[in-house]
Amino acid sequence: MVCADDLEAAEIAVGQILTTSKKRYLIVEELGRGGYGCVFKVQPQPADGTEYALKLEKRREGRDHAKLAMEMNIMKLVGNLKPAQRTHFIDVYDRAKKDKFFFIVMTLVGESLQDLKRQRKPPVFSAATAHNVGLQCLQAIEHLHAIGFIHRDIKPEVPLNQFLGF
């Protein structure tokens, strides 16, 4: 996991500015963490009112491939899809490689299905909502398959319109 102790080792903290060849980004808050990295809310500097998600992965010796590199390859393939087939995917705006980590800057998406369910009292979706969400999930999976990719980590924690949140 990249966050917690690994973040300190990578010298990443809220309030820090990360730089790419295009822009500078202020880390505003941590949004989540997983087995391969962390996601932060960031703002470009100078601030222009936009916010993005920054996904960070620590460099690790002995790893055959970087997860973010794989995601970038997938997003390039998604770019070849028809516009109607890209509605369930995020856009990548920027990226960088540093000595201790890699990161990509992408669309900041909304809440996950799990978050939305927790907000309900009782935490249950109506049949119509479950049906519509299921159809959207199947469409996104179908579009991934169209570019030759099989997603193996589909779960409620993944934002609804972002199935590439490994």
d(CA 63, CA 71): 16
Residue 100 known to bind ligand: no
What is the predicted pLDDT for the residue at 96? 93
89 phi, psi to nearest 5 deg: -120, 150
- CB distance 85 to 151 below 8 Å: no
Report mean pLDDT in 10-residue bins for the chain, 166 residues: 52 91 96 84 96 90 70 85 86 91 91 83 87 88 87 66 38
d(CA 73, CA 88): 17
What is the predicted pLDDT for the residue at 47? 92
Coil, helix or strand at residue 6: helix
What is the predicted pLDDT for the residue at 166? 28
What is the predicted pLDDT for the residue at 162? 45
CATH superfamily of 5-109: Phosphorylase Kinase; domain 1 (3.30.200.20)
Coil, helix or strand at residue 110: coil
What is the predicted pLDDT for the residue at 2? 44
d(CA 44, CA 23): 7
- CB distance 23 to 94 below 8 Å: yes
For residue 147, the one-letter residue type is I
What is the predicted pLDDT for the residue at 134? 87
Residue 153 designated active-site: yes
